[in-house]
Chain A
């Protein structure tokens, strides 16, 4: 059952990419897309294991756009923050490498978390190993694991764990 779910989700994502790429809803285009994306998903069936962990409940469907908005807001904030540091003649940076612990287990969730951390204020994921994330922080505010986890990853993690198992 979980295998079928991963398959259908990947098919859906491929189909969305097709419709956005062609830009029409004509029936012949849609049928071609369905057939082609089915073929692609069959070829890459071993990768569908990533998508099995996405939860499909009313709550998770509402939370997906919420995550997107939180993420975009954090990204804009991070850009302004880094831009200000670049223009400032004094260069107020205090770089460091710290470790975070995450409670997410699914590989897809960890990938999204690591990507989100890279694109948000002053942090860059360097590596993920089991449940630890190693990040480079341009302005270290907390050095111990618990506090750093709360400051960097918590706002993403708490939404992600509702969307992905």
Chain B
């Protein structure tokens, strides 16, 4: 149990590190968000569960924390992406746009 927890904490730390590396390396806001959201969600998830396994008194609370992180993390990044798109933050060159209708047309009129 102790060892499984430590392995999970290590995996979580690696994913969090890769997530922050992604934020530096990616070319524009949207790709940075991609790296940021995904890596931090799994990183935080496995870190919290790892701590829960190392100290089993926290396990149930750790699971509640994980549920809240998984529910709220995508919402925040989706909102940031929408706001940056609305503010016309420049996109990486070669970004494909294939939409039949824009989700901004109401504001543009």
Residues of chain A touching chain B, judged by Cβ–Cβ distance below 8 Å, are 17, 20-21, 23, 75-76, 78-79, 82-83, 85-87, 91, 93-99, 114-115, 118-119, 122, 124-127, 129, 132, 134, 136, 138, 140, 143-145
Contacts and interface: CB of A to CB of B under 8 A. Distances in A.
Contacts of A97: 85, 95-99
B60 A124 contact: no
B99 A134 contact: yes
Q: Number of contact residues on B: which range applies? A: 35 or more
A96 B98 contact: yes
Interface of chain B, main secondary structure: helix
Given A124-B33, A136-B30, A119 B100 contact: no
B38 A82 contact: yes
Nearest to B84: A126
Query: Interface residues of A: mostly helix, strand, loop or mixed?
Result: mixed
B81 A79 contact: no
A114 B92 CA distance: 23
A25 B41 CA distance: 30
Interface in B78-100: 78, 81-82, 85, 91-92, 94-100
A89 to B, nearest CB: 10
Given A79-B42, A87-B21, A126-B81, 17 more contacts: A79-B38, A79-B39, A79-B41, A86-B25, A86-B26, A93-B31, A99-B98, A115-B74, A118-B78, A119-B38, A119-B41, A119-B70, A136-B34, A138-B31, A138-B34, A140-B98, A143-B98
